[in-house]
């Protein structure tokens, strides 16, 4: 996933909103203001297509489930955090996979949605890259490591070999997740992917 990390590094250098010290990263303002992408509320997107958001076939906007779109201004933290990750995931498609559908000729949203189900046979790789992009964008490695370094000395005093404790790892993820505007599961994945606190 080195190419994904390198792309994020380039974007952080280019856009102030994406800098590591700007967590929680405001992907909502970023895609609307910096990129000029249109947010397109879509009724029942989740129930019809099993997704909360999807980049448009021409990469000029992002379809958002209408109910989720309403949460961009206000909503329960956990739903807003989920939406933040989903939008970051769609931004990955914008930056990493824009060339994939160019050879296709989509006459409708339904056709594009059907193609999205397999990405021309590359679905697994494309989705893994998009998830990695979203996680790394929203949870900068250096910031996560700083949180861990702040936590570790006291944890070691209280629980020798604390890194062997799955429950303590879960508590750490829950504690720091609000700093990044993500749910604890995203932190848990980053702890593993960035080798900060891998699952033992």
Tokens encoding 195? 């080798």
Residues of the chain with CATH 1.10.10: 2-138
Residue with tokens 């848990």: 188
pLDDT at residue 119 in the model: 60
pLDDT value at residue 76: 83
CATH of domain 2-138: 1.10.10
Question: The pTM is what?
Answer: 0.88
Query: Could you give the angle at which helices 2-14 and 77-96 cross, rounded to 10 degrees?
Result: 100
- Residue 154 vs residues 142, 173, 174, 179: alpha-carbon distances, Å: 20, 16, 17, 19
Neighbours of 28 (CB within 10 A): 17
Residue tagged 């250096």 (tokens): 142
For residue 69, the model assigns a pLDDT of: 84
Please tell me the predicted confidence (pLDDT) of residue 111. 64
- Give residue 97's pLDDT: 82
Output the six-digit token pair for 12: 């952080």
d(CA 126, CA 161): 37
Q: Residue 58 has what pLDDT?
A: 82
Q: DSSP readout, the chain? A: -HHHHHHHHHHHHH-GGGSGGGPSP-HHHIIIIIS-PEEEEETTHHHHHS-SEEE-TTSSEEEEEHHHHGGGTS--HHHHHHHHHHHHHHHHHHHHSTTGGGG----SHHHHHHHHTTGGGTHHHHHHHHHHHHHHHHS-HHHHHHHHHHHHHHHHHHSTTGGG-HHHHHHHHHHHHHHHTS-HHHHHHHHHHTTSS---
Distances (CA, A) of 177 to 62, 78, 81, 155, 199: 25, 10, 9, 18, 17
pLDDT tens digit at each of 200 positions of the chain? 899 999 999 999 999 999 999 999 999 999 999 999 999 999 999 888 888 888 887 889 999 999 888 877 677 888 889 999 999 999 999 999 887 655 566 556 666 666 566 565 566 588 899 999 999 999 999 999 999 999 999 999 999 999 999 999 999 999 999 999 999 999 999 999 999 999 87
């Amino acid at each position: 996933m080195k190419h994904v990390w390198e792309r994020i590094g380039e974007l952080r250098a280019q856009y102030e909103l994406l800098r590591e010290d700007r967590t929680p990263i405001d992907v909502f303002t970023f895609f609307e203001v910096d990129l000029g992408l249109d947010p397109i509320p879509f009724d029942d997107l989740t129930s019809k297509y099993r997704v909360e958001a999807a980049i448009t076939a021409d990469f000029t906007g992002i379809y958002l489930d209408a109910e989720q779109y309403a949460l961009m201004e206000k909503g329960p933290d956990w739903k807003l955090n989920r939406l933040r990750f989903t939008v970051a995931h769609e931004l990955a498609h914008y930056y990493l996979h824009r060339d994939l559908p160019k050879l296709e000729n989509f006459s409708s949203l339904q056709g594009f949605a059907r193609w999205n189900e397999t990405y021309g046979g590359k679905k697994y790789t494309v989705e893994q890259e998009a998830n990695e992009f979203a996680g790394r964008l929203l949870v900068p490695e250096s910031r996560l490591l700083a949180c861990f370094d702040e936590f570790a000395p006291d944890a070691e005093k209280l629980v020798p070999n604390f890194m062997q404790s799955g429950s303590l790892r879960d508590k750490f993820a829950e504690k720091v997740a609000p700093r990044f505007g993500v749910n604890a599961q995203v932190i848990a994945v980053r702890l593993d992917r960035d080798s900060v606190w891998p699952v033992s």
